[in-house]
Structure 1
Amino acid sequence: MSCRRSQLLLVALAMLILFASCTLKGGSTNMGYCFDADYSPEHKRLYVAAGNRGMHIFDVSRSKLDYVQTYHSGGYYRFLDSAGDHVYVAHAGDGLLVIDTAGHQPKAIWSQKDGPGSGVHVYKDYVFLAQGKKGLSIFNISTPAEPVLAGHCKTSGDAWDVWTEGGHAYVADVDQGVTVVDISDVRNPEVVALVTWDKVNPMAEVITGEGDYVYVASGKHGLVIIDVTEPTAPTVASQFKSGREGYGEGLAVRDKIVYLANGNHEKASENGLYILDVSRPGQPEVLG
């Protein structure tokens, strides 16, 4: 299997276990409601944020999911991102939680304990944390065991998730749309733009990006693709919805392929994973 195909398979495997209640080890352990997953190519591990079940760890060295263990320090794990030997968790109660995964047993080594944590993204030496109505917080993690708050700003609404590239952070404000924050000076982040697709309830819940586009899992609006070629003037490139009752619940993107976790209250057959070719962002094409 080629490296690229192997990576795509791992992304698909991750998406298949998101947003589902299932069991581990032949039915002995309930996974809980899984919000997010992140793959560490360095350690060949998949980390899964599973709400009040904590964090599940899988070995994917053989291009399949082999359950290793579950770690839970208490509370609700919403989203996570990994870098090196550490996993950074958006914790519903403690804000940012840092877990050391270097040893045989993971251990929490630091927590913010200041407001909720909704979404998280690691970019270079910084962690960007979406904190609901509190907005966006930026932490310097050059010393992972001692994160330092570098900057903070209010966003346009209720910050649920964040993705960062270049000099900008893109925040999924669930009740407003996507807020663009200039982070060229992390000590003084500044909101520079807002784009929405529904002035009443855009449901911007989960966000990620690649190249000049960001992708939003937007509940009843499905998948929303946003052109950020000019970050201060973002525009909606297109939307995809599986049907009248289709819901975009989560997503990943790699090499212009979007993996969309989809729910449908009307047609059970449309629940599951949608794979879309977004090489033409204005016309996403369903591959499977």
Structure 2
Amino acid sequence: NPTNPGTPIYENTTGDARSVYISGNYVYLADGSSGLAVINISNPTNPGTPTYENTTGNAYGVYVSGNYVYLADGSSGLAVINISNPTNPGTPVYEDTTDNARGVYVSGDNAYLADGSSGLAVIDISNPTNPGTPIYKNTTGNTYGVYVSGNYAYLADGSSGLAVIKITVPIAPGTPIYEVTDRSAIKVYVSGDYAYIADFTSGLAVIDISDPTNPGTPFTEDTDGSAYGVYVSGDYAYIADFDSGLAVIDISDPTNPGTPFTEDTDGSAIGVCVSGDYA
């Protein structure tokens, strides 16, 4: 029942869990200075003991595609780890970027990274064991999050809000188009004709992207904390709301988001992912 979230169940990690991705019976965490943490959640009410694979940077973002996990590894750029056996992750392979990689999204043969002051970085991963040289498209803000949908990359671009970049030709990204938000765009999730932004102290911002070349004016719903992460499932947006834990917002009408329902957590919620009946 999204309007009445249950009591949290915890499994601690040795780092600072910043981002989360669920695939099958495992949750993959970008665990800060501890790199990748993998936890068995075949029984979500009793998560397993974490398995780690350390990285040379600080892991901020995570994405799973096939037998590989892709980490936005801060000052080390992109880290690629074989997870064909999730209980024994492989040695990371790196491709550095010019700034600090904070978010990652994989689409087709390319990894798209939110690379801070360098904007968007695109890396060919057709051979995951030998990633290609990054191609960049700078933005006016500091890029923290990225989501790819269709022929466009949507960036959470800090003080510049939402940046939309055409990637029909990934090796030649288009000129960014912007829609400023109230505060600082930290993460972005695209569902249907809307982009959902975790907008720091302004909570959730919803932007019509039915025409990606002309994003609409944001609709905002504030939260009790500071929105650092966002995930959309069905008629609800789930917000990692830092000191306020999880915030759940009805978006059945995206132009009029509902009042948040909150479930506090012991730590500071930075990332969120939904799978089945669990966040």
Q: What is the TM-score normalised by the length of structure 2? A: 0.84
Q: Which structure is higher in helix share?
A: 1
Which residue identity lines up with residue 66 of structure 1 in the other structure? Answer: G
Task: Supply the distance in 2 between the matched residues of 1:256 and 1:191 (Cα, whole angstroms).
Answer: 32
Alignment partner of 2:185 out of 204, 207, 223: 204
Shift of residue 89, structure 1, vs aligned partner: 0.4
The structural deviation recorded for 1:237 is 4.1
Find the residue that maps to 1:190 and give its secondary structure: coil
Q: Does 1:179 find its partner at 2:163?
A: yes
Partner AA of 1:248 in structure 2: A
**Pairing partner for 1:36 from 19, 22, 25:** 19
Amino acid at match of 1:145: T
1:252 correspondence with 2:234 = no
Residue correspondence of structure 1 range 71-82 to structure 2 within 5 A = 71-82=53-64
1:114-263 to 2 correspondences below 5 Å: 114-115=97-98, 116-149=100-133, 151-198=135-182, 202-243=183-224, 246-263=225-242
**1:180–1:194 CA contact under 8 A, matched in 2:** yes
Which gives a bigger RCO, structure 1 or 2 (Cα 8 Å, sep 6+)?
A: 2
Which residue of 266, 269, 274 maps to 2:247?
274
**1:192 shift after superposition:** 4.1
On the 8 A contact 1:216/1:223 being kept in 2, the answer is yes
Q: Distance in 2 between matches of 1:206 and 1:134?
A: 16
Aligned pair in 2 of structure 1 residues 61, 250: CA closer, same or farther (>3 Å)?
A: same
CA displacement at 1:23 relative to structure 2: 5.8
Partners in 1 of 2:171 and 2:56 — Cα distance?
31
Query: Is contact 1:97-1:108 (8 Å) kept?
Result: no
Write the distance in 1 (CA, Å) between the matches of 2:69 and 2:49.
17
**Structure 1 length-normalised TM:** 0.81
Structure 1 counterpart of 2:147, which letter? Answer: W
Residue deviations 1:51-71 (CA, integer Å, cap 9, x gap): 112222111223443234122
1:74-129: CA deviations, max 9, x gaps? 33111110101111000111110101111342123410123321111111221101
Quote the Cα distance in structure 2 between the aligned partners of 1:33 and 1:218. 21
Which deviates more, 184-193 or 144-153?
A: 144-153
What is the one-letter code of the residue matched to 2:181? W
Unpaired runs of at least 5, structure 2: 262-279
Q: Given the superposition, is the C-alpha separation of residues 150 and 79 from structure 1 closer, same or farther in structure 2, using an over 3 Å criterion?
A: closer
Q: Which residue is equivalent to 2:75?
A: 93
In structure 1, the residue corresponding to 2:217 is in which secondary structure?
strand
Aligned to 2:276: none
Report whether the alignment pairs 1:70 with 2:67. no
The code of the aligned residue for 1:197 comes to T
- How many residues align? The count is 255
The gaps in structure 1 that reach 5 residues or longer are 25-29, 265-270
Superposed displacement of residue 254, structure 1: 1.5
2:112–2:121 Cα contact (<8 Å) kept: yes
For the 8 Å contact 1:23–1:31, the answer to whether it is kept is no
Aligned to 2:275: none
Kindly indicate which of the two structures has a greater share of residues assigned to strand.
Answer: 1
From 44, 57, 81, the counterpart of 2:38: 57
Q: 1:286 to 1:140 in 2, by over 3 A?
A: same
1:23-64 Cα distance to aligned partner (Å, 9 max, x none): 63xxxxx543221000113xx211011211222211122344
Superposition RMSD in Å: 2.3
